[in-house]
Amino acid sequence: MAMQSLSCESVVIGSMDYGESDKIVTLFTLEHGKLRGIARGAKKSVRRFGGSLELFARLKLQITLTEGLARIQGADIVTVFPGIRADLGKIACAGYACDLTDALLPEGLSNPRLFRLLGAYLDHLDHSPADSSDRRFFEINLLNVLGYRPLLEECAQCAVPLSGGAWFSFATAASGLLCGRCGRGGKPVGAVTVNLLIRTLRTGKFGVTPFAPAELEEAGALLDSAIAAHLQRPLKSLAFLREIEVSAS
């Protein structure tokens, strides 16, 4: 690949120190999808980077694409989401959202819908309290955009339309809900929960589909299992988020 210099809009979804002065950064860009880049001297060059390459910062980047790591030449901050960084619960949610995006998104494929979803979640967190309903909204919409959404309207095994409550097992959660016959021995999911999950896919706005505690527990069990089926490794950010949620309850 010939070297190509360009400007792109991005969110930092991963960052690690490399050597004494460099950083390797995982970026979710609007134009090019996920890519990894190296920022030479990022820990020392205030003029070029100014502490901008932090997790979930939204940036306008100047990069050079190469066969290996992209070269990050400079960064202009769009926002670092100060409202998130002032609250540990929000930091945990934002870090998890970025980590999950990194884990499930293949490299080098543009995905504007997912970029808008992540950006909308970060914008919402920046101005609103961290809320488990919003986290579940993000998760199911992310699965939907990536083509991993569990089937909610009909049995994932026998295709009978689901009316009323449904079931799921941890082995089949990635495929979707089951009818009463196919889901024997599984975990129940009430009709209210199913309808709420479907509604989250029909609205494009965070904060308008609240889940009551019982429905949140059912939806959470299903989504946690569906997501885990697509992960290659457990997410440290999820363990941290759960610790924060327990301490806040």
The CB-side HSE value for 131 (13 A sphere, CA atoms) comes to: 19
Q: What angle do CA 201, 58, 30 make, to 5 degrees?
A: 60
Range of the domain at 205: 83-248
The average confidence (pLDDT) of the chain is: 91
Q: What is the mean pLDDT of residues 238-244?
A: 95
- Let me know whether 162 and 130 are in one domain: yes
Q: Which residue has the tokens 């504007």?
A: 112
Q: pLDDT per residue over 47-63, tens digit each?
A: 566 668 899 999 999 99
Return the CA Rg of the chain.
20
Query: DSSP 3-state helix, strand, coil percentages of the chain (rounded to 5)?
Result: 35, 25, 40
What pTM was estimated for this model as a whole?
0.93
Q: Cα–Cα distances in Å, from 60 out to 126, 198, 211, 240?
A: 19, 35, 36, 29
In this prediction, residue 6 carries a pLDDT of: 86
What confidence tens digit (pLDDT) does each residue in 167-203 have?
998 888 999 999 999 998 899 999 999 999 999 999 8
pLDDT at 206 over 80: yes
The domain total for the chain is 2
Mean pLDDT over residues 32-52, rounded?
77
**Model confidence band, residue 1 (pLDDT cutoffs 50, 70, 90):** very low
CATH number at residue 141: 1.20.1440.120
Q: State mean pLDDT over 151-158.
A: 94
100 and 218 in one domain? Answer: yes
For residues 54 and 100, membership in a common domain is answered with no
Query: What is the pairing mode between strands 70-79 and 4-18?
Result: unpaired
Residue 45: the pLDDT is 61
Mean pLDDT, residues 137-159 taken together: 96
32 with 12, same domain: the answer is yes
Domain co-membership, 64 together with 76: yes
Non-local (6+) Cβ contacts of 16 within 8 A are: 23, 24, 25
- If asked whether residues 103 and 225 sit together in one domain, one would say yes
Query: What's 55's domain CATH number?
Result: 2.40.50.140
- Looking at the fold, whether 231 and 144 belong to one and the same domain comes out as yes
Residues 72 and 99 placed together within one structural domain of the fold: no
Q: Based on the number of CB atoms within 10 Å of its own CB, is 143 exposed (0-12), middle (13-18) or buried (19 or more)?
A: buried
Contact by Cβ (8 Å): 121, 134: yes
pLDDT > 70 fraction of the chain, expressed in percent and rounded = 95
Contact in structure between 27 and 34 (CB atoms under 8 Å): yes
pLDDT at 2 over 70: no
| pLDDT above 90 coverage of the chain, percent | 74
Q: Is the pLDDT of residue 78 over 90?
A: yes
* Final residue in a domain of this structure, among 15, 48, 80: 80
**Do 211 and 133 touch, CB atoms closer than 8 A?**
yes
15 lies in the same domain as 102: no
pLDDT digits (tens, 9 = 90+) for 79-132: 999 999 999 999 999 999 999 999 999 998 999 999 999 999 999 999 999 999
pLDDT exceeds 90 at position 17? no
For residues 103 and 63, state if they share a domain.
no
Identity of the amino acid at 99 = D
36-47 mean pLDDT: 75
Which tops the pLDDT comparison, 207 or 43?
Answer: 207
Residue 164 to residue 142: CA distance in whole angstroms: 25
User: Which of 47, 64, 80 is the C-terminal boundary of a domain?
Assistant: 80
Question: Collapsing DSSP states into helix, strand and coil, what is residue 70?
Answer: strand
Domain boundary among 46, 80, 114: 80
Are 50 and 10 part of one and the same domain?
Answer: yes
CA distance 40 to 178: 52
pLDDT confidence of residue 40: 84
Q: Is 136 exposed, middle or buried (0-12, 13-18, 19+ CB in 10 A)?
A: buried
Residue 169 identity (one-letter amino acid): S
